Amino acid sequence: MFLSAFLAATILPFSSEVVLSALYSSGLNGLLLLIIASVGNVLGSVVNYVLGVRFGKEIATQKLKVSDAAFKRASDIFTTWGKWSLFLCWVPIIGDPITLVAGVLRSPLWFFMLAVTISKTARYAALLYVLV
């Protein structure tokens, strides 16, 4: 669960919802899965943030093959809403680039961690709620 959640939060195209659903359906504890998935997903987002801080836009568009359109969309959202846009990091397609842009634009790490943790955990909690 941890690895799938971690990879899903990076720019890599990966999904952890199927893994979470399968593990929960097989009888594993929902709270434990929520914690493991959330920690993995938040740490994956931290990787994006650090890549943004260290390498800027180039790492996204040239090395990680994030399209210019996706990066621009994430940048526009972040520019418009500022650090509050981090609460959208759970949204597919734009969420991961937002965490990268947060690093590029040097969003405060403490706020990044707070917003990403709340958002990612809420998404997994909602998924588990639907499964119950």
What H or E segment, with its residue span, contains residue 52? helix 30-55
> Would you say 95 and 88 are in contact if contact means Cβ atoms under 8 Å apart?
yes
This prediction has a pTM of: 0.86
**Which pLDDT score, from 0 to 100, does residue 46 have?**
97
Sole residue written with tokens 């809403």: 81
From the number of C-beta atoms within 10 Å of its C-beta (0-12, 13-18, 19+), residue 44 rates as buried
In whole angstroms, how far apart are CA 40 and each of 6, 78, 82, 100, 120?
4, 23, 25, 16, 10
Identify the sign of the CA torsion 96, 12, 51, 68.
Answer: negative
Query: Per-residue pLDDT tens for 8-53?
Result: 998 777 889 999 999 999 999 999 999 999 999 999 999 999 999 9
Of 57, 39, 40, the closest CA to residue 102 belongs to: 57
Query: Per-residue pLDDT tens for 57-113?
Result: 777 677 666 777 877 787 888 888 888 999 988 887 778 888 988 998 899 999 999
